[in-house]
Amino acid sequence: MPPKIFKKTPLAWRQLMKEKTRLLVAVAGIAFADILMLLQMGFESALYDASILPHRQLNADLVLIDPYMQTLFAVKSFPRERLYQTLASEGVVSTTPVYIASGQWRNPETRLERTILVWGVDPLLKTFKMPEVNQNLGQIKQLNTVLFDIAGRPDYGVTKENFLTFETELNSKSVNVEGLFINGASFAADGNIITSDSTFLNLFADRKSEKIELGLINLQPGSDVKRIQKQLIANLPKDVSVLTTEEFAQIEKTYWANSTAIGFIFGIGVGVGFIVGIVIVYQILYSDVSDHLPEYATLKAMGYTDGYLFGVLMQEALLLAVLGYIPSFFVVSGLYVLAANATMLPIVMTAERAVTVFVMTIVMCSISGFVAMGKLRSADPADIF
């Protein structure tokens, strides 16, 4: 039976600390892998969140859309009368029609055109939850006036610093920018414009007032949203879908995640980081075992089993996982702040993502420990005599 003193000796920790240069290299390598995974996951989540931010800003309990609509980038229209038909259902208090289309915005400085998403709303109704929009609805009652999304791409030529009420062109027609709001760029659009339904129909001459892209439904407070949703689905023709605002948002997210290469590309990035981490930790553990093979053989000769030695190796792997993860967490948290300020994307460190990557780091290091165990088994007590 091995002496109890050996069981109290932090063998794994002492082995790691003996070669400090090797330890620093291992920690840096694991931190790099974690940073890569955290950045990939963070940017993916931020892009998805940005793409569904307008959906979540809608002031509605239920939303009517065309059943084949997948994204705001390619909106589909349906008859406006469907929205009015919902008023016959119990619990429906009010409805709001919304027009959506992509227009050509002319940069007031460079005179270059760039696509922008245009929302046509009733200026007498609160279509969005955004306070800055609701406070300025009166500004767009006049024909050819708009509110501009200041969180869009800078290529549109408008910033908070240089903003004054000014005139530019949208779809080759003069418009006056009378106010700002914050939404942000997304996959569907680099920027947004909110205007009245009258201005919208003037800007898009081929559009008809009886065709809309969204129908917002507000219910009585305390209503059973799911029950009324089922009721509307049963009563309305099948040329519309009835969704909650979150279900509507998830349609957009699903489209970009599954119908484009975006999800695959970010997934590849996370996978590469995971594999890089496995290789780095394996190399460190393999070198450590190789350098101390006579010592491991001596321990075997003293009566220690492969299971005990494997436990020491796994302790080293887990220590490396923790030591590598800690700096990566703080580095990426800082990078998130820089990226959010530079791109206007809603990128923040979440507890779920932090825990997920930490678990992945432990798994990554554990796999390396299992692989390196093959070298440890080769420690033969006979070799030391």
Identify which of 65, 94, 68 has the alpha carbon closest to the alpha carbon of residue 82: 65
Cβ(176)–Cβ(211) below 8 Å: no
- Residue 85 in any domain: the answer is yes
Helix (H) or strand (E) holding 79: strand 78-79
Domain identity same for 284 and 347? yes
- Residue 60 in any domain: the answer is no
CA distances (Å), origin 64, targets 237, 239, 249, 324, 373: 12, 10, 12, 49, 59
Domain identity same for 188 and 278? no
Q: Name residue 166's amino acid.
A: F
Exposed/middle/buried for 161, CB within 10 Å: 0-12, 13-18, 19+? Answer: exposed
- Residue 62 in any domain: the answer is no
Q: What is the pLDDT at residue 379?
A: 55
The DSSP result for 182-250, as a single string, is -----SS-S-EEEEEHHHHHHHSTT--TTEESEEEEEE-TT--HHHHHHHHHHHS-TTSEEEEHHHHHH
Per-residue pLDDT of the chain (385 residues; tens, 9 = 90+): 444 444 455 777 777 777 788 788 888 889 999 999 999 999 888 888 888 888 999 999 999 999 999 888 888 999 999 999 999 998 999 999 999 999 999 988 888 899 999 999 999 999 999 999 999 999 999 999 999 998 888 788 777 666 666 788 999 999 998 888 988 877 777 889 999 999 999 999 999 999 999 999 999 998 999 999 999 999 999 999 999 999 999 999 888 888 778 888 888 889 988 998 888 888 887 777 776 666 666 776 676 676 777 777 788 888 888 999 999 999 999 999 998 887 777 888 999 999 999 999 999 888 888 887 766 666 555 555 5
Q: What is the pLDDT at residue 8?
A: 56
- Residue 207 in any domain: the answer is yes
Domain identity same for 106 and 226? yes
- Residue 318 in any domain: the answer is yes
Q: Name residue 303's amino acid.
A: G
- Longest CA span, the chain: 96
Considering its fold, how many domains does the chain have in total? 2
Domain identity same for 36 and 72? no
The H-assigned helical ranges of the chain are 4-8, 11-18, 20-56, 81-85, 131-134, 197-203, 225-235, 245-258, 262-291, 293-301, 306-343, 351-377
Domain identity same for 74 and 47? no
Domain identity same for 116 and 232? yes
Cβ(92)–Cβ(63) below 8 Å: no
Last residue of a domain, one of 207, 239, 271: 239
Last residue of a domain, one of 239, 274, 295: 239
In the numeric block, which tokens belong to residue 327? 């700096």
Q: How far apart are CA 251 and CA 73, in angstroms?
A: 12
- Residue 288 in any domain: the answer is yes
Exposed/middle/buried for 261, CB within 10 Å: 0-12, 13-18, 19+? Answer: exposed
Q: What is the pLDDT at residue 9?
A: 54
Domain identity same for 156 and 279? no
Query: What pTM was estimated for this model as a whole?
Result: 0.77
Q: Which backbone phi and psi does 102 adopt, to 5 degrees?
A: -95, 130
Q: What is the pLDDT at residue 167?
A: 81
Identify which of 173, 151, 202 has the alpha carbon closest to the alpha carbon of residue 49: 151
Place of tokens 């220590």: 319
The DSSP result for 87-119, as a single string, is GGSTTEEEEEEEEEEEEEEEPTTT--EEEEEEE
Identify which of 243, 182, 185, 250 has the alpha carbon closest to the alpha carbon of residue 217: 243
Domain identity same for 47 and 72? no
Domain identity same for 215 and 276? no
Q: How far apart are CA 357 and CA 370, in angstroms?
A: 20
Identify which of 268, 262, 261 has the alpha carbon closest to the alpha carbon of residue 46: 262
Domain identity same for 138 and 221? yes
Q: How far apart are CA 261 and CA 243, in angstroms?
A: 26
Cα 346-348-352 angle, rounded to 5 deg: 120
- Residue 58 in any domain: the answer is no
Domain identity same for 345 and 294? yes
- Residue 249 in any domain: the answer is no
Domain identity same for 161 and 116? yes
Q: Range of 186's domain?
A: 67-239
For 72, the 3-state DSSP assignment is: helix
Cβ(105)–Cβ(168) below 8 Å: yes
